[in-house]
Amino acid sequence: MYNGGVLDDTAAEPTSNAQGELTRSITGRLLFFYVLGDVLGSGVYVLIGLVAGAVGGAFWIAFAAGVTLATITGLAYAELATKFPQAAGASLYVNKAFHNPLLTFLITICSLSAVFAASGSLATGFARYFGSIFDLAPALLVTLAFIVILTVVNFIGITESVVVNMVMTFIEVFGLIVVMAIGIIVVVQGDADFGVLTSFSAEGNPIFAIVAGVALAFFAMTGFENAANVAEETIDPARNFPRALIGGMLTAGVIYVLVAMSAALVVPVSTLAGADAALLEVVRADVLPGSVDVLLKIFAVIAMVAITNTTLVSVVTQSRILYGMSREDVVPAVFSKVHPTRRSPYVALVFSAVVVAALLVIGDVLSRVNADLDIVGRLATVTVVFLLFIYALVIISTLKLRGEGVTAESYRANTPLLYLGVVGNIVLLGYVVIDDPGSLYWVGGLLALGGALYLAQRVSGGRRGSGTATESRA
């Protein structure tokens, strides 16, 4: 899950010591699980069917390739985080490298837009799993209610949100273990056809099929950049940060590849590709003992919990990015207003919910007009467009900042790999845009929204006065 790139000073204060510096208390092992928990999101629950349809039985290769590109990008974050250990992520790095306020603002808006689009994609995925066991309301109503409920949870307080997030992380990992266990049982029983793992059912060149799959699978590998926000609190960051970051990403990648292989061995690829909730088809294969109907309901609940977990973090991120931008005098001051008792940035929360709801409504209308439009895939593509642009600029910033901020605790990434990462992100970005040009309308709309917020702040008179409610911290 992508966590933007704006400084969230609400997270830094509780760990400050008497000298105003953050306490180094996070061990390498703790950081490893932090990264693993961030990357192991719900993307695989939502998108695995679309990836299978794009590639064929060998769709696990798309996940492996996505992991590789994301890991190379992670090397850049590891170097920059150990040189500039501040909780501001991509915006900070690009600002230091280019000293261009407009470019820095663009990166920040891209970060915010990516989280908006991701929330919409995940909410739609939630509605599909919900609809597989309950027939209570139209899918659009379910998605809107889902976003409203998560907004209320975040309004109650960030501490409560983090506690809920921790519990749901264990549940979503358990769901992936269940899928892998089903795959192992099929293999042990001798029913697995390993030939399917090298088959490409998509038309055209297999390389283009893999690239198409990577473009979707990449959505599931995001979230690693969040670790940059805790580099200053990591013990021996030069040693522990790169190991934990890359180790966590590779572990998550291995799990994704094994889940993809298990699904391909258990269920025909055509079935996965045609299913709204693809992983339910793995459970429906009736490999596990017990009632299939009961197991389907249990797994659907697990999938919904997994999606809720990632979307919950997204809703937190949206409001905190707006809150941080407001405090930096980039968007109107109203977004930094904090509720007097709950201490939550309630205006930013409500605005974010409205934007995501608008994306969902627009997507629902367009999908009724064009039956071939898959709103989950479209919003995932929009998210990936923003993130690939951000990641490419972060790697370029890494190369541009070579020689600056170097200390004994700095990590230096492999230079040829960084150049490969730039090319990989740019090539994949180009392919995504060419393959789905319609996504650019969504990208343009979200960027226009960010520009409108910026203009509104300029028109409203710039810096706010002192002593307002906006000076409170979320």
Indicate if the alpha-carbon torsion angle 93, 97, 99, 102 is positive or negative: negative
**How far, CA to CA in Å, does 353 sit from each of 99, 235, 392, 416, 419?**
32, 37, 29, 42, 38
Give 350: exposed, middle or buried? Use CB within 10 Å, 0-12, 13-18, 19+.
middle
Return the exposure string of 185-207: e unless at least 16 CB atoms fall within 10 Å of the residue's CB, then b.
bbeeeeebeeebbebbbbeeeee
> Kindly report the CA angle at 267 between 265 and 270, in degrees rounded to 5?
115
pLDDT of residue 467: 37
- Which residues of the chain register pLDDT less than 50? 1-22, 160, 464-474
- Please report the beta strands in 326-387, taking only residues with DSSP state E, as ranges in sequence order: none
pLDDT of residue 127: 93
Alpha-carbon distance of 302 to 245, in angstroms, equals 27
At 146, list the tokens. 């889902």
pLDDT of residue 60: 93
Supply the pTM of this predicted model: 0.83
Closest Cα to residue 78, out of 452, 434, 412?
Answer: 412
pLDDT of residue 232: 63
- State the CB neighbour count (10 A cutoff) for residue 471: 13
The β-bridge partners of 26 are 234
pLDDT of residue 231: 66
